[in-house]
Amino acid sequence: MKIRRLSLLAKEGPREIEIAKLPRDVTITTYAKCRALAVNGLVRAIHGDSYEWYGFTLASKDRPECIVDIGIPFNDSNAYHHTAIGPENISLFSDSLPHDLIINGWIHSHGRLDYRGFSRTDEQNHLSVLDYVGTFVKKPVSRRQIVIRDLVALTQDRFGQDEKTGRSVWVVTDVPVSEARIFEAVHGSFCYGIVVGDGGWHMQEIYYKTRGILTGSVSIGKKEARMVPVDSGRVFTKKDRELLAGEIKAKIKPGERISHSR
Ligand SMILES: [Zn+2]
């Protein structure tokens, strides 16, 4: 036998048909960006030093990819290189959200630490928030072919008589079919992570999770991402800054109980 092209010998892999994309950049309104970057300065002004803090990025339900606000829950404790927030304060915060807003990520500060990156603890936090926000931002992202060895298609009457062992999946049909392919919906979710520092530096990562709804196969990935500001028409005003200052006074608690680092 003569083979014209070696590539013809390569087996075709499972097909995957993309339906929707997950975000590759962190889109944020200029209002939310101003608010995010105003926190560190206010923490220094109000509490007298650079304390780390922890918050959530918020989006409207109908546009989960775009951060429209920064939510600050009551932090349990804040130090130079530690922030702690317990499950009670997280639930309190999420219960207080207007019904048209969802959490699509988290934000924290490294204060005046010159640590411009995400630590191992940050990675663990990001995975927890990804699990938490997954249900809000989940959507079908593709149809993926499931490759099954020993797939057999049988009509109902023959299925009852099929005594062969070694088969793995049966497709039972009303009329004989000669070929069947099975595709599953793959659902994907994402979670933004932003770290900010004194002086206004910031870095972003996006975590992704996809899950095949039939096979249950899960994959998790992440990428560093750009922050892309968009103008929503809302301006971060002097009044907004005063309100934020009030929140920081009430919600940031230097010197109290510490339970995890960075
Ligand atoms: Zn950190």
In the predicted model, what is the mean pLDDT of residues 229-244?
A: 96
- Give yes or no for a contact between 148 and 171, defined as CB atoms under 8 angstroms apart: no
CA torsion through residues 252, 123, 227, 134, sign: negative
CA angle 66, 242, 41 (to 5 degrees): 75
| pTM for this predicted structure | 0.86
- How far does residue 206's CA lie from ligand 1's centre (Å)? 15
- Give yes or no for a contact between 141 and 19, defined as CB atoms under 8 angstroms apart: yes
Quick check: helix, strand or coil at residue 240? helix
- How far does residue 209's CA lie from ligand 1's centre (Å)? 21
* Banded pLDDT at 126 (limits 50, 70, 90): very high
β partners of residue 222 = 207
DSSP strand pairing (83-84 vs 26-29): unpaired
| Domain annotation for the chain: domains and CATH numbers | 23-138+190-207+222-251 (3.40.140.10)
d(C-alpha 152, C-alpha 156), whole Å: 12
d(C-alpha 166, C-alpha 152), whole Å: 11
- How far does residue 201's CA lie from ligand 1's centre (Å)? 13
- How far does residue 205's CA lie from ligand 1's centre (Å)? 12
Answer yes or no: is pLDDT of 127 > 50.
yes
Which whole-number Å values give the CA distances from 53 to 47, 68, 111, 143, 253, in the listed order?
Answer: 12, 19, 8, 40, 9
Top-confidence residue, 18 or 79: 18
Q: What is the pLDDT of residues 43-65, one digit of tens each?
A: 999 988 888 899 999 999 999 99
**Least confident among 2-16, 118-132, 145-159:** 2-16
- How far does residue 63's CA lie from ligand 1's centre (Å)? 27
